[in-house]
Amino acid sequence: MKIRYPKEVDIIFKELSKSGYSRYVVGGCVRDFLLGKEPFDWDICTDAKPEEIQRVFKDFNTIPTGLKHGTITVVVNNKNIEITTFRTDKDYVDNRRPREVEFTSSIYEDLKRRDFTINALAYNEFDGLVDCFNGQKDLNQKIIRAVGNPIERFSEDSLRIIRGVRFSAQLGFDIEENTALAMTNCRELLNNLSKERIREEFLKILMTDKPSDGIRRLILLKLMDYIIPELIECIGFEQKNPNHNKDVFEHIMEVLDNTDKDIVLRLSALLHDIGKPRCFTVDESGKGHFYGHHKISTEIAEEILTRFKFDNKTIHAVKLLVNEHMSRYEHLREKSIKKFINKVGINNLDKLFKLQIADIKGSTPPHDFANIEYLKNECIRIINEKEPMTVKDLDINGYDIMNLGLAQGKEIGDILNYLLEIVLENPKLNEKGLLIGQARQKLQQKDIE
């Protein structure tokens, strides 16, 4: 086996070798190469101490990324390459990070502190593959296995519990029995993690080829209780409705797997029906209904996304898609379609239609997408015609209304919205003179009233 390095890695290797230090590429880049994938990052480890790394690369731009833990970033050809000194970790704090590290000259000591065997791999052209924990065998057998004692590994950094599920979902690997058991037994350690760290690993699971596999694994290992416990309520919840041939959870999984790899879309698919168990009713004939479930689901989605400290833009977009996922209209007047576009937002339309199509695919066949295609095509047509659709598109503004004798305040907005209604009905009326005339009439009418 021979790994071909990028030019930047080759330069770093030559500099370290000239100064008498050993060096290896390590971790994920070796794993990916063995899997036949193009490595995303190239991490290098060496027996050179941090100050020695800085001395070797004194003619390069270096960044003390994690000096305390032995990591220096070297900039080569405008690319950042991390170099880390071989180390052992001592006494982890808060199931997250070591209280202190001890530098070592042994690649074995460095590899044995790593999370999973498939990541405890190193390589250079002299020693070939350094595989102290049978990582290559686990790669070939498609197994996620902790290095050494899994309980110790997860106690050191409890995020490794979710990372293991993430690797399993990304690679399509099984989790080794003792490792899986330790994940479940150590699950309460997830309470020590920040919501941001959990969020980032969970998003990587959502962005896999088949995200339902990762979600099911989290539930099987009893980890979902510490991530999105609201989802547990949906498992086995029968819908008792001819439109649905799956329980709420299985429906959500089907919808999730039928969406594109877009964070907002995947989050919306996961949360679009999460409120169903809380608004379930059964009529006299035994048929199940979920009146207003889109509103309940929107409220729950906001709670979850806020809990995980998502940015406001993502929260707003997901709430909007969840709330509107049931907006399926047969034939709307053009004015109503424009209002629909305004409400959803041009940037969210495509995501909404994709969510609605996925939602139908997760329901009882036959699947009819005609109404969605009709509305989508009408929206595209109206947008392409560039007709006015918002107050900002009017050929008149608030100052023009104030010049008619109206003081600044809520009434100006009311007049502008009134004018927008007129223009949505007839775009040809979007001329300043005509709009001022309409505004005068409205104000006179108010005075009479």
Give per-residue pLDDT as tens, 314-326. 999 999 999 999 9
Residue 98: per-residue pLDDT: 60
Tokens matching residue 103: 């530098």
What's the pLDDT at 214? 98
Q: Is the pLDDT of residue 449 over 60?
A: no
| Contact between residue 129 and residue 98 where contact means Cβ atoms under 8 Å apart | no
Mean pLDDT confidence for 283-289: 94
pLDDT in tens, 189-231: 999 999 999 999 999 999 999 999 999 999 999 999 999 999 9
Q: What is the pLDDT of residue 68?
A: 78
Q: Tens digits of per-residue pLDDT, 6-53?
A: 999 999 999 999 999 999 999 999 999 999 998 988 999 999 999 999
Number of CB atoms found within 10 A of residue 62's CB: 18
Beta strand segments in 30-93, E: 43-46, 61-66, 71-76, 79-85, 87-93
At residue 404, the pLDDT reads 78
The chain-wide mean pLDDT, for the chain, equals 92
- The dihedral through the CA atoms of 223, 224, 227, 230 has a sign that is negative
Specify the pTM. Answer: 0.89
Token pair 């686990």 in the structure block, residue: 138
DSSP three-state, residue 26: strand
Asked if 341 and 383 count as a contact pair (C-beta separation under 8 A), the reply is yes
- Say if residues 121 and 34 touch (Cβ distance below 8 Å): yes
Identity (one letter) of the amino acid at 52? E
Report d(CA 222, CA 308) in Å as an integer.
Answer: 19
Residue-wise pLDDT tens digits, 62-83: 999 877 788 999 999 999 999 9
Average pLDDT over residues 121-146: 96
pLDDT-based confidence at residue 285 (cuts at 50, 70, 90): very high
Look at residue 203 in the predicted model and tell me its pLDDT: 98
Instruction: For residue 258, count other CB atoms closer than 10 A to its CB.
Output: 17
Q: What is the average pLDDT across 236-260?
A: 96
Q: What is the pLDDT of residue 91?
A: 59
Query: Contact at 8 Å (CB) between 102 and 88?
Result: yes
Residue 182, strand partner residues: none
**What are the distances in angstroms from CA 423 to CA 24, 90, 380, 428?**
68, 70, 19, 7
Written as six digits, the tokens of 102 are: 């001890």
